[in-house]
A and B are shown apart, each in its own frame.
Chain A
C-alpha cells in the first residue's frame, strides 16, 4: 500500500489530535449498530435451526435431528466467534483469526468417529447460519424498510 496516498484524508480532530466527544459518541454508535447487526444474525440463525429441528425429527429420526441440531449449534458458535474476530479487527489485531475453523474441524472429527452421529446432517446443520444470514439480510433490506441499515 502506498503510504503517501494523498486521497486518504484524515478525519478532523481537535488541535491536540485527541478525539472529541462527538467523535467518541459516533464511534460508540457505530459499534452499537454493529453489535445489533451481529446479534440479529446470530438470533436468526438460532431461530431457523430451532424451527427446522421439529420437521427433521418428524420426517427422519431423532438421531438425524439431534445431529442437525449439534451442527446448527456449532454453526451459531462459529458465527459468534467470527463476529468477535471482525469486531477486534483494527483494534490491536491486524488479521481475522482462524480459531473459528477449529470448531468445525472438531465437529467433523467427532461426527466421523462417533457412530451415534451422522456427518451429512451435521454438515447441513452447520451451514444453517448461511440461511440465517440470507433471511436476516433480506428482512432488514427489503421486507422491513423501517429497520433497514
Chain B
C-alpha cells in the first residue's frame, strides 16, 4: 500500500470514529440520565421506561456503528489500497 494512502486512511479512520461518536455519546448520556430520573419519579413505570430506553439506545448506537464500519473498512479492507 502507498504510504500516503495508508497514513491518510489511518487518519481518516481515527477522525471518522471520533467525530461519529460525539453525537450518540451525548444523546445516550442524556437519555440514560432522564430515564433514571423518570424511574426515580415513577418507580411503578420502571418497565416501560427501561423498554423505551432500550429502543432509543439501540437506534442511537447504530449511528456509532455506521462510523465504526467506515473506520474498520478503511483499516482492514481499504478499497484504495
- Most interface-central of B32, B51, B57, B64 (chain A CB within 10 A): B51
Size of the B side of the interface (Cβ < 8 Å), in residues, is 35
Secondary structure dominating the interface of A? helix
Quick check: is B23 within 8 A (CB to CB) of the other chain? no
Would you call B28 and A37 a contact (CB within 8 A)?
A: no
Secondary structure dominating the interface of B? helix
How big is the A interface, by class?
35 or more
A90 to B37, CA, bound (A): 10
Would you call B43 and A11 a contact (CB within 8 A)?
A: yes
Return chain B residues, CB-CB under 8 Å to A104. Answer: 65, 68
Return chain B residues, CB-CB under 8 Å to A101. Answer: 61, 64-65, 68
Would you call B72 and A86 a contact (CB within 8 A)?
A: no
Return chain B residues, CB-CB under 8 Å to A112. Answer: 72-73, 76-77
- Distance of B6 from chain A, by nearest CB (Å): 16
Return chain B residues, CB-CB under 8 Å to A108. Answer: 68-69, 72-73, 76
Interfacial residues of chain A within 9-44, with CB under 8 A of chain B in the complex: 9, 11, 23, 26-27, 29-34, 37-38, 41
Return chain B residues, CB-CB under 8 Å to A86. Answer: 50, 53-54, 57
Would you call A79 and B46 a contact (CB within 8 A)?
A: no
The residue of chain B having its C-beta at the shortest distance from the C-beta of A108 within the complex is: B72
A89 to B28, CA, bound (A): 12
- Distance of B5 from chain A, by nearest CB (Å): 17
Would you call B57 and A79 a contact (CB within 8 A)?
A: no
Would you call A27 and B43 a contact (CB within 8 A)?
A: yes
Quick check: is A123 within 8 A (CB to CB) of the other chain? yes
Would you call B57 and A96 a contact (CB within 8 A)?
A: yes
Q: Which of A27, A109, A113 is B46 in contact with, Cβ under 8 Å?
A: A27
Closest 4 CB pairs of A and B: A33-B47, A30-B47, A112-B76, A30-B46
6 A-B pairs in the complex with CB atoms less than 8 angstroms apart = A1-B33, A8-B40, A30-B47, A31-B46, A31-B47, A101-B61
Please name 18 further chain A to chain B contacts, defined as beta carbons within 8 Å, in addition to the given A34-B46, A34-B50, A104-B65, sorted by A numbering: A11-B42, A11-B43, A30-B50, A38-B51, A41-B54, A86-B54, A89-B50, A90-B36, A96-B32, A101-B61, A101-B65, A105-B72, A108-B76, A112-B73, A112-B77, A129-B58, A133-B55, A137-B55
